[in-house]
Structure 1
């Protein structure tokens, strides 16, 4: 009786072991999908997804890929500009992004994308969303704003982007960047407005104020591309990133569209911008900070300039006296040069501007009329 029980137990155990070993083969034989599977209906996109898809479909046709082909003798001189989003491909081209501004075929991009061509010896071409490559010429550049305008060759341009405003932006609003990071055409990245009123260094030691910060991924090749709001309107032009590695670290910067909408028409009309100034040489901010000075120190006043006509004084090295200190422009306090240049930019050229100036411990107000800085040379 006992032997019979042992045989039954061993047989059951062997049977279970056999089933365990055979189970994967049986499952594969019975349930393997040897033909294409039936597609499960997805249903409607979520409202947020549908909105983003529609936004990209509307805007992407207006975004272009900009190429600056260096002359043979200049190839290899243009390195990847990791902080400003530029990129150099393997064929000696500086590449970036641009977008259609108007029905005449004007393209807006960053000045640093086309700087080599602006200096001569390089050609510019643009690849449209359709894949067509069109030659382009530089209409004008504004290094102080890192903006440039191109003109497409003979072709029917895509529709221009809708223009928004940067005056009423709020931190937390959704942002959408379309560009060509690392040469990958028409890439969409999303994020939010991370901060407003940032400052960004541009050409000749100047700073651009009111810059938009976003965490939408911006990488080398995105430079000059549009930053859009949730309505698909242009709110900024992507221009720079802060990144120790050179790739996106979630801190990108865009030139506010209100600045773009003022500078670009001027470039189209005149090929250059008129930069308002008063004809002073300002002291270094680091020196002013060490001296405990809150404001812009006037080091030198240019002869015949609005500042000279208003009676502003610079540093007198012989007498050892400090120059005038500009502490306000209109109703705005001036802590640094960027505050003063922002107030002058808002006023424009040939505009009256009231300055609050400290001299010998006393405060006084002077009235100056801004002029184009190109007309006020040392």
Structure 2
């Protein structure tokens, strides 16, 4: 895994395929997917997530058409019978007991969570597509990805398809590009089933999880797998100010495909622990690739404060150190190391007051090891403004530790 894709210029994401070409695809409805300002700003020499053996990318927005599916039905086949000297036998139809699903089974999880997950249809000036959403309140507040909602843009439209077959128009309540989250509101609805929000911090690698959403526009789709990694730094692009959307993702091998974006990743108790947001996909010369067993979800613990701010009509805020960083390249002082190398320190920031300077290498935040720029960004993203953290860094060949209070980006155009 030695490929290191170059960092996109501000406002450009090389992994982003716009959700909608003009006009509908040849067969079926178009479908939008995410496969996938900042606490730490990164410089162009930062390396992104490494590619796999085949060329891969973290897909943060794409559209796929649902074509005709080949179908097989035994009812369409002529019936036949056979005989032999030993006689013949006939299959029998027996009643299957209608036993309840066992606790902790995927069947039981699906029954609990499906009423709380919706399909979101979105259209705007540049086209149309679809994604998924999670019901937050009985009167229609719905959580989804920013890259799903933003397709509507100014003057676009949103509608929601519920699990019971009903639908409603919707409007945007709030968006946060930095965490790739958004809240929308379905109009004229009541009595919906809100999802139960769990704690992503309780997850363990190897634990069973279930993904629910609308891949390729196929609503109410359930897939299952395990948590294959935690705190995976996933970088899915940057805004016009150079601030990146990087989060400490839950990695899963549950099949996640275009259209799953904004849907629920739940534990086997049916509690939402993540928002399906991006996928690692093999490059393909023909259209959009699907799941290869590497999907990423935004952990709920980290984004619930931001979601609550949007629901309350507030502008989301994020923690910041006040530095720009890059991956460590080559030798630092007397030893080769890995971490996030400071490229610039904002005057008056918490990092500046703590004594960090250009050239320092941040190697740890509290107990989190920092392996590169994305790792530091994702780690700081998991905190809130005002939190105290202990930062370990190398300066002039010496290892230093400082405890500081994280700034807020409320009054800053970048981090």
TM-score band (shorter)? 0.7 to 0.9
Q: Secondary structure at the match of 2:112?
A: helix
- CA deviations on 1:30-58 (whole Å, 9 max, x unpaired) are 9899xxx9741123558559943333222
- CA deviations on 1:279-311 (whole Å, 9 max, x unpaired) are 1121x21xx233444232221122332223333
Q: How many pairs are equivalent?
A: 318
Higher relative contact order (CA 8 A, sep 6+): 2
Larger radius of gyration: 1
Instruction: Give the Cα separation in 2 of the matches to 1:254 and 1:341.
Output: 16
- CA deviations on 1:251-306 (whole Å, 9 max, x unpaired) are 22212222243332122124442111121121x21xx2334442322211223322
Name the residue aligned to 1:350.
Answer: 386
Compute the displacement of 1:346 (Å).
4.1
TM-score normalized by the length of structure 2? 0.68
Name the residue aligned to 2:3.
Answer: none
- CA deviations on 1:348-370 (whole Å, 9 max, x unpaired) are 20233333333222333344332
Name the residue aligned to 1:150.
Answer: 184
Instruction: Give the Cα separation in 2 of the matches to 1:50 and 1:375.
Output: 46
Give structure 1 regions of 4+ aligned residues with deviation exceeding 6 angstroms. Answer: 24-27, 30-33
Q: Which has the higher helix share?
A: 1
Instruction: Give the Cα separation in 2 of the matches to 1:206 and 1:129.
Output: 31
**Correspondence for 2:96 among 42, 50, 55:** 42
Residue 317 of structure 2 is aligned to residue 274 of structure 1: yes
Name the residue aligned to 2:56.
Answer: none
Compute the displacement of 1:159 (Å).
1.0
- CA deviations on 1:115-151 (whole Å, 9 max, x unpaired) are 222x424211111122222111112222222211111
Residue 253 of structure 2 is aligned to residue 208 of structure 1: no
Instruction: Give the Cα separation in 2 of the matches to 1:274 and 1:143.
Output: 11
Preserved contact between residue 101 and residue 107 of structure 2 (Cα < 8 Å): no
Instruction: Give the Cα separation in 2 of the matches to 1:347 and 1:249.
Output: 31
Matched ranges for 1:105-116 at <5 A? 105-116=140-151
Preserved contact between residue 101 and residue 108 of structure 2 (Cα < 8 Å): no
Compute the displacement of 1:324 (Å).
2.5
Matched ranges for 1:62-77 at <5 A? 62-71=116-125, 74-75=126-127
Q: Secondary structure at the match of 1:265?
A: helix
Preserved contact between residue 227 and residue 250 of structure 2 (Cα < 8 Å): yes
Matched ranges for 1:175-194 at <5 A? 175-194=209-228
Preserved contact between residue 195 and residue 212 of structure 1 (Cα < 8 Å): yes
Name the residue aligned to 1:369.
Answer: 405
Name the residue aligned to 1:87.
Answer: none
Q: Secondary structure at the match of 2:254?
A: coil
Name the residue aligned to 2:32.
Answer: none
Q: Which moved more, 1:356-365 or 1:238-247?
A: 356-365
Which consecutive unaligned segments of at least 5 residues does structure 1 have? 1-23, 76-92, 315-322
Matched ranges for 1:282-293 at <5 A? 282=325, 284-285=326-327, 288-291=328-331, 292-293=336-337
Residue 164 of structure 2 is aligned to residue 130 of structure 1: yes
